[in-house]
């Protein structure tokens, strides 16, 4: 004869209280600049490259390559 062990039922009182809900974001909330993938100068560089390549070819470039390209163009000193 097979006997089955019953597990004691958990009481809701033994569960921790859920965390309080997060407050809604403040009106006019804008994320900090370092959260954004590109700065304004980088966006200008990428807009120029997009015009050169055309929208379809530019959109095929991976985001990581766009990041590297914009940083390289902006932070490489020009040799005149």
* pLDDT one-digit tens code per residue, 36-54: 777 788 888 889 989 999 9
pLDDT at 5: 59
CB atoms under 10 Å from CB of 33, counted, come to 8
The closest of 51, 35, 43 to 69, measured between CA atoms, is 43
Whole-number Å distance between alpha carbons of 78 and 18? 57
pLDDT at 57: 94
**CA pseudo-torsion sign 58, 32, 34, 20:** negative
Cβ proximity of 64 and 56 under 8 Å? no
What's the whole-model pTM score?
A: 0.48
- Residue stretches of the chain with pLDDT short of 70: 1-13, 31-35, 74-80
Q: Where are the domains of the chain?
A: 36-75
pLDDT at 37: 75
């Amino acid at each position: 004869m097979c006997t089955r062990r019953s597990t004691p039922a958990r009481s809701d009182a033994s569960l921790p209280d859920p965390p309080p809900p997060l407050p809604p974001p403040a009106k006019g909330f804008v994320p900090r600049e370092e959260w954004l993938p590109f700065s304004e100068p980088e966006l200008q560089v990428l807009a120029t490259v997009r015009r050169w390549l055309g929208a379809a070819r530019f959109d095929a470039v991976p985001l990581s390559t766009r990041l590297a390209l914009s940083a390289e163009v902006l932070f490489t000193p020009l040799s005149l």
